[in-house]
Amino acid sequence: MTVLEPFGARLRRAMDERGPLCVGIDPHASLLAEWGLGDNVDGLERFSRTVVEAVADRVAVLKPQSAFFERFGSRGVAVLETTVREAREAGALVVMDAKRGDIGSTMAAYAEAFLHKDAPLFSDALTVSPYLGYGSLSPAVAMARESGAGLFVLALTSNPEGGEVQHAVRTDGRTVGATVLGHLALENAGEEPLGSFGAVVGATLGDLSSYDLDMGGPVLAPGIGAQGATPADLPAVFGRAVRNVVPNVSRGVLRHGPDTVALRDASERFADEIRAALTSA
C-alpha cells in the first residue's frame, strides 16, 4: 500500500495555498429541488459533479456527507466513489463526513472502507464519533497512520443535544469534550507542521476559552453561513487555535448552484472573508 505524506502536512499546505475553506457536498432533497434536479440518482450525480467541477481545483477541502448518497443505495454509493475520486484528482482534499463509531472488528471495517489507500471510498480524512470511548477509535487511528490519512473526531458539536454528553463532567473534573481534545493532543504530539488528528468543533458555540483547542491538529468548524456563524466570529470562538481551523460552508455556497461560476464566486468570497478574519486576529 502506497503511503501518502501525512494528512496534517498535506492539509497545512492546502490551506496555505488555497485558503482555509471546506465546502460541503450535501445533496439533500431540498437543495436538489432548488437546483431544478430530481430527487434521484441522476439528480445526485449532476449535483455532485457540478460542485466538483466548480470548486475542487481551488478550495482546500471538500466534505461529502455520506448519508445523502447512501440513501440511494448502491447507485448512490457509486456516485460517492466517483465524487471522491474526481475531487481528489482536481487537487482538493476529501473529508468523508460519515461520523462512524463502533468497537473492535466493526470499527476496523469502517476504517478499511474509508481510510485504506486502495479502497474505492478512500478519503484523506474521516469524521468519527468517540462516544463509545475514545479507545474504540484505535483501529481507525492505526489505519489513518498507516495510509497517511486523518481523522476528525466529534468533540464539541453545535447541535443542542450534544451538550448533555460533551459538557458532562467526569469524576476527574474534566468534561467529556475536554477529554476528547486531550486524547487528540497526545495523538498529535511532535507532529509538524500540523498533526493529522483533528476535532470537530462548532463555529456557532461562542466563547470556548475554557477548552484548550490548540491540540496540535486541525479543527473542522461547521456552522459558517446558513447556521449563523460568520468568518468574523472565528478568532473569538477559536482563540489561539484559529490558524488551524478549517471552516466548513455548505448551503452558503451550494445555494448558488447549479451555475458553476456562481458556485465558484461564492466559494472565493467565503475564502477571502476567512483570510481577512484570520489576518486581523
Phi, psi of 58 (to 5 degrees): -140, -25
Q: Which residues are catalytic?
A: 99
Residue 23, beta-bridge partner list:
62, 249
Q: Can you read off the three cell numbers belonging to residue 17?
A: 495555498
Please give the angle made by the CA atoms of 60, 92 and 204, to the nearest 5 degrees.
40
Per DSSP, the residues of 128-152 read: E--TT-GGGGHHHHHHHHHHT-EEE
CA–CA dist 77, 204 (Å, integer)? 31
Q: Are 237 and 208 in contact (CB under 8 A)?
A: yes
Q: Can you read off the three cell numbers belonging to residue 83?
A: 465524487
Half-sphere exposure of 23 (CA within 13 A, CB side): 32
Return the sign of the alpha-carbon dihedral for residues 128, 133, 134, 135.
negative
Q: How far is CA 278 from CA 44, 174, 240, 272, in A?
A: 34, 30, 11, 10
CA–CA dist 51, 87 (Å, integer)? 9
Q: Can you read off the three cell numbers belonging to residue 102?
A: 463502533
Q: Where are the alpha helices (DSSP H) in 161-259?
A: 163-166, 176-188, 234-238, 251-254
| Residue closest to 76 by CA, chosen among 115, 125, 27, 128 | 27
Omega of the bond leading into 231 within 30 degrees of 0 (cis): no
